[in-house]
Structures are given as structure tokens and as C-alpha cells.
Amino acid sequence: MLSNLQIFLVSGAALLFLIILYLFFKPLFTRKLNQSVFDNSSPMPFNEVIEQGTLEFNDADQQAQQQELIILNLVSMDKSNFDMNQVLTLLKNLDAKYVDGFFSYRDLSGSEVYRIASAINPGILNSNTQTYVLLMALDLYQVIDPVKAFQTMLDSASNISEKLHASICDSARAPLSKQMIEHFKSRAQEISRIQAVRISSAK
């Protein structure tokens, strides 16, 4: 049986051994811990920069790059080519202006609201164009009143489709549903609110 002195010596030797191990491996543990903390935290500033940039509505360059397109396709019901003389007459009756091969509808101030072109490459509309799909495109960020602009384009699409016997379709050329129309209206309202905030912030 071990005496008290032997137990004390064994305990002291074990404690001394643990202290030596601690002192020897401490620098290694410290380096690994620091490296681990650095690795885990290094992406954070990058993420913060991205998030801040995304939420920065007053940046002029970023605003110029923003785009929210609403595209409607007017597809001939029997897939036959439209009578281009009729198409050109309809577009002129809408007071659309001919610009570089497509038509541009503008409001009373002269600002562009939406564009009309052939949905078949190269997209040019003239008396020689052969197409059974007309494309109407509106950028909600580039108009003064997004809600009114969308309604104007939708009304024009209804007018043209009725006279050309065409179906109004979405960008995927699926028939335009009431749900999709409401979605477009909701998006236009949202962007209208964003623009209102920008205007008030700029004052």
C-alpha cells in the first residue's frame, strides 16, 4: 500500500507533467484558434458591403442599372403572319413613334412609356416584316408613373389584339391570366412606392 509521501510524489509528478504539456502545446492551440476565428469572420465584411450596396437606393449609378421589364406578346390566333399594313396603321393611330425599327409610345411630356417590336429576330417592324408575334415591353424603373404606364400598355395590347385577332400572352407566350395581371400591377405599385421614397430622400 502506498504511503502518503508516495501519493504526494505521484500526484506532484502528474501535475508537473500536465503543466509541461500545457506550456508546450499552448502556442500551437493559440495559433489554430486565431486562424479559426479569422477564417470564420473574414467573409463578414464582404457580406456587409454587399448588403449595404443592395439597400443603397440613392446611388445614381445603381439606379441607372436597375431594370424591371414587363413583356407582353401578341400572338396571332391561327399563327399566320400579321397584315403589316394593318399593324403599322394601328400603331400610328396609337400615336406611337417609329424609332430605329421599332415603335415607341410616349406620354404627353414626351417620355417613353413602352416599346413595340416584332418578337421574331431581328425584331424590326416595317412593311416587309413577316411575323405572327408582336412584343410589347415596359421598364417600370424608366417611367414616371409605373402603375399608369402598365395600364396604358395593357389597354393598348387589348386594343391591338382585338383588331388583329391575337391573343395577349406573357413573356413565355402563355395566355395572360388575371393572376399575372394582378402580379404586374402589384409590382408596378411597389416600384412606384420605391420611386416616391427616392424622390423624398433626395429633397
- Which residues have C-beta within 8 Å of that of residue 113, sequence separation ≥ 6? 105, 106, 107, 138, 143, 149, 152, 153
How confident is the model over 139-192, as pLDDT tens digits? 999 999 999 999 999 999 999 999 999 999 999 999 999 999 999 999 999 999
Tell me what percent of the residues of the chain surpass a pLDDT of 70.
68
Q: How many residues does the chain have?
A: 203
What pTM, to 2 d.p., does this model score? 0.66
Mean pLDDT of 24-28: 57
- At residue 74, the pLDDT reads 97
Dihedral angle at the C-alpha atoms of 101, 104, 109, 111, nearest 10 degrees?
Answer: -90
How confident is the model over 66-91, as pLDDT tens digits? 889 999 999 999 999 999 999 999 99
